[in-house]
């Protein structure tokens, strides 16, 4: 039976990563691990480790990206919570069997061997939930 291992990250949509870092890094004292451009998602991400998890600041890099549309519609703030699972395919099968609405029916192969899938917010009482399986 697939299991949730931990909270991998919490993603926040921001208009400007540098501006947001004034709070998250400079005021709170979180360390910036690295910045990453994600052309596939038309976004840039700042990774700030917190314990065994991360805060991710996500900035759109193109006005036609999904993140830009989200930002325009809802404004900056919480985007999604990501849960690391030990068996993403098994977890998706389990969720489908329980009637949970998914955005991705099958895991998507991401960077560095990661696999991910999103659960629809309607199924999670308004929260966008991402599942991650790390290699």
Average pLDDT estimate for 41-56: 96
State pLDDT tens for residues 50-102: 999 999 999 999 999 999 999 999 999 999 999 999 999 999 999 999 999 99
**Structural domains in the chain (count):** 1
Q: In angstroms, what CA-CA distances link 109 with 27, 99, 116?
A: 35, 24, 7
Instruction: Locate all alpha helices (DSSP H) within 8-65, ordered by sequence.
Output: 17-21
Report pTM.
0.91
Q: CATH no. for residue 81?
A: 3.10.180.10
**Three-class DSSP category at 13:** strand
Q: Are 36 and 47 in contact (CB under 8 A)?
A: yes
What pLDDT does 104 receive? 96
Which residues constitute the domain of residue 17? 4-133
């Amino acid at each position: 039976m697939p299991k949730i291992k931990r909270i991998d990250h919490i993603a926040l949509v921001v208009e400007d990563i540098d501006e947001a870092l004034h709070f998250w890094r400079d005021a709170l004292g979180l360390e910036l691990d690295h910045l990453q451009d994600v052309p596939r998602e038309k976004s840039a991400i700042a990774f700030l480790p917190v314990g065994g998890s991360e805060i991710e600041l996500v900035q759109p890099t193109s006005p036609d990206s999904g993140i830009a549309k989200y930002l325009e519609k809802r404004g900056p703030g919480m985007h999604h919570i990501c849960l690391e699972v030990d068996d993403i395919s098994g977890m998706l099968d389990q969720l489908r069997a329980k009637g949970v609405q998914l955005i991705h029916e099958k895991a998507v192969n991401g960077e560095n061997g990661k696999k991910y899938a999103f659960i629809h917010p309607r199924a999670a009482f308004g929260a966008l939930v991402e599942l991650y399986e790390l290699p």
